[in-house]
Amino acid sequence: MSAFQILQVGPLAPPTNLTLQERFGAVALWQQADPLAWAREHGGAVRVVVTSARHGCTAALIAALPRLEAIVSFGVGYDSIALDAALARGIQVSNTPDVLNDCVADLAFGLLIDAARGIAYGDRFVRAQRWPQGGFPLTTRVSGKKLGILGLGRIGEIVARRAGGFDMEIAYHNRRQRDGAPWRFEPDLKALATWSDFLVVACVGGPETEGLVSREIIEALGPKGILVNVSRGSVIDEAAMVAALADGKLGGAGLDVFRDEPNAPPALLALDNVVLAPHMASGTHETRAAMTALTLENLEAFLATGKVLNPVL
């Protein structure tokens, strides 16, 4: 086994970095002075890239690795991986599906409840000692309301199941109707937004969903509507969303993802109808441990059998 057989694009948790280095002899690409130049010079021996949804894998990096056979990624989203370039060369790409569904759905619901009920706002209100000066404004009921889900995939389905516990009416929009799903399929996203009190975005990121939640969809959700995003910032026309939140054309938002992470749009920072989270939906000890284990299982499976366990396509 060549010393440079496995290449790690960006840092994961420190113990995972150590495991990759010590057990698998992985080279830390991010520690090279010029990562792409390093790949062009030494990439001939690399058979496997280990990366994450955050660090991705560019077409330029793939092109610099002529013997690359697999890209093993930590995270479920693969919009940051140049999939076409990988598949064109028959390179396998794996992700970590399912193990994060519960925690992402939990956070989607947390953001929804917080955006509607003003939990973080109330916390700021109490800490700023504003309570003695007057009562907290009334908020928006969650139970029994209409929930629209954009993307009834693995995560969207758990969001729908959580919503059942809040006696919500549920409808979803997807590329196609899901066989056997007990919830109402709405083929028209604008109609779904118009109908919804809350719209949770849980679809995949990438070119196929870029800007899907447009100004028109945001305004259809309307001044009382609340938008929750646990997918990717790219799915929403962020400038239109910021303007609608500031102008009262959209009631509120709970956002875990943004277009320019780790930066949230500055205009959102002053708005009390918005709850902001630092892309933390899968960030629990339990889920990150499960994602790490699955990443390493995919790597081991590829090294032992030539096949990853969780190919993305």
> Rule CB under 6 A: which residues touch ligand 8YV?
52-54, 74-77, 100, 279, 282
Strands 48-52 and 274-276: unpaired
Sheet (strand 146-150) strand order: 184-185, 169-173, 146-150, 198-201, 226-229, 252-255, 274-276
Nearer to ligand 8YV, 54 or 154 (CB): 54
Buried b / exposed e across 135-173, counting CB within 10 Å, b at 16+?
eeeebbebeebbbbbbbbbebbbbbbebbeebebebbbb
| Distance, CA of 219 to CA of 172 (rounded, Å) | 18
| Distance, CA of 308 to CA of 94 (rounded, Å) | 6
Our answer to whether residue 232 is catalytic in this structure is yes
Nearer to ligand 8YV, 145 or 288 (CB): 288
Our answer to whether residue 219 is catalytic in this structure is no
Nearer to ligand 8YV, 107 or 193 (CB): 107
Catalytic: which of 279, 285, 297, 300? 279
Q: Least distance in Å: CB of 77 to ligand 8YV?
A: 3
Q: Least distance in Å: CB of 14 to ligand 8YV?
A: 15
Nearer to ligand 8YV, 204 or 243 (CB): 204
Nearer to ligand 8YV, 140 or 298 (CB): 298
Contacts 24+ apart (CB under 8 A), 85-93: 85/59, 86/57, 86/62, 87/313, 89/62, 91/62, 92/302, 92/307, 92/308, 92/311, 93/308, 93/311, 93/312, 93/313
Q: Least distance in Å: CB of 80 to ligand 8YV?
A: 8
Q: Which two tokens stand for residue 255?
A: 């956002």
Our answer to whether residue 216 is catalytic in this structure is no
Q: Least distance in Å: CB of 282 to ligand 8YV?
A: 3
Q: Could you tell me if 166 and 115 are in contact, meaning their C-beta atoms sit under 8 angstroms apart?
A: no
Q: Could you tell me if 264 and 236 are in contact, meaning their C-beta atoms sit under 8 angstroms apart?
A: no
Nearer to ligand 8YV, 74 or 172 (CB): 74
Q: Least distance in Å: CB of 62 to ligand 8YV?
A: 18
Catalytic: which of 208, 210, 216, 261? 261
Catalytic: which of 219, 232, 238, 288? 232
Q: Which two tokens stand for residue 142?
A: 């969650």
Q: Which two tokens stand for residue 260?
A: 């320019």
Q: Least distance in Å: CB of 25 to ligand 8YV?
A: 22
Which amino acids are annotated catalytic? Answer: 232, 261, 279
